[in-house]
Structure 1
Amino acid sequence: MYQPPHHREDRREVQHALIRSHPLGLLISSGEGGLLANPIPFRLVKTEEGLGTLQAHMAKANPQWRALSGGAEVLIVFQGADHYITPSWYETKRETGKVVPTWNYAIVQVRGTVRVIEDSQWLRAQVGRLTDGHESKRMIPWAVGDAPDDFISVQLKGIVGIEVQITGIEGKWKVSQNRSEADRRGVAEGLEADGSDAAGVMAAMVREWGGL
């Protein structure tokens, strides 16, 4: 990933926080037919040593998992907040006019080696933990155990598990850090005036990473 120094985010806790808040990662691998890519919801598991692991499952009907056998290397992309940035928000536009549009975003890329898992007990536990993690925010959470056991057993036969041992992780927060303080302030205020939720999230990031 192209990494200008002012956009690089190496803090592990910040990288992990983005993965947890945006767990739908784009799983990219190479197979006999070329590159394959599928969006998969992942669960991040921290380990005492190393960079951690990512656990997920996919449909057996999805051909990608067969290309992951034998410790294949994969790239997983987690996309955080993003927003278009108009040059009209820059103070530099009023001073010189020498400005162009851009796009702000936060992203984490993970590289790792994969283990394919077909054990039904592992799959049941993984699906349960993944579900519980998202349902816990609901007033009346749904649990895997709410469905009949025979129904769940049939569903589990249609999926395979994957566990990615993380070997490398990169974070990039492109949130106007390369602009002057006046331009950063103009971007934050412009985004706030936009009024949308997405713009509000990006405005907060510009202020935090821009020291405003």
Structure 2
Amino acid sequence: MSQSTDDLLKAIFLAELEGTSLSASELARHLDISPPGITQMANRLQEDGLVEYYPYRPMILTQKGRELAAGIIRKHRLWEMFMHKALKMGWNEVHREAEMLEHQTSDTLADRLDEYLGYPAFDPHGQPIPDKHGRVQARKDILVLSEAKPGNSYTVVGVTDKSDELMDFFTDIGLTLHCRITITGKISMDQSVIISVKNYRTIISKTVADHIYIQK
């Protein structure tokens, strides 16, 4: 299959993990593909038994499609973990490289990476790595930063937006996986969150805060 098809299956799978779904128009915006292009891909994937698709309704993965999507995400996140652990690359450096490697990785190589890394459950961004059977380990008692209450301290356990610009911003302010942050306030007008991380005080917009997962 093509890279764009892989990316479509991944997007649907990740939305399902978060308990949401994506319409064809949302997928088109997310993947930067024209709506007619998404429709053509959806029809082809339905013929291949990978999705269930009806116009004006969200696409749903079949069991076959879910297993395929989980395998692609597994390869991606294992490569991220390998680059982070073995090559000492920052969490803001690994996503783009893994995007290229995931499409060229056999199941056998993925299994060897998994074994070498000690079967990690989460990637450098705190996102779950599916096992070889497509199962993922769920986190408990987590919330998004935008829901945090001022005056409390939390541990950062994951981020869901891995864009280069945002990851570089996190790195610049010292926000990393497992770091402790304190919520010092909120701006009522737009619900931006004021945080202190490693003695650095900064303002995080609600849009960005919605992509940061924290835990007491």
- Please report the TM-score for the alignment, with normalisation by the length of structure 2: 0.23
Give the greater-gyration-radius structure (CA). 1
Q: Which has the higher contact order (CA 8 A, sep 6+)?
A: 1
- Please report the TM-score for the alignment, with normalisation by the length of structure 1: 0.23
Structure ranking higher in helix proportion: 2
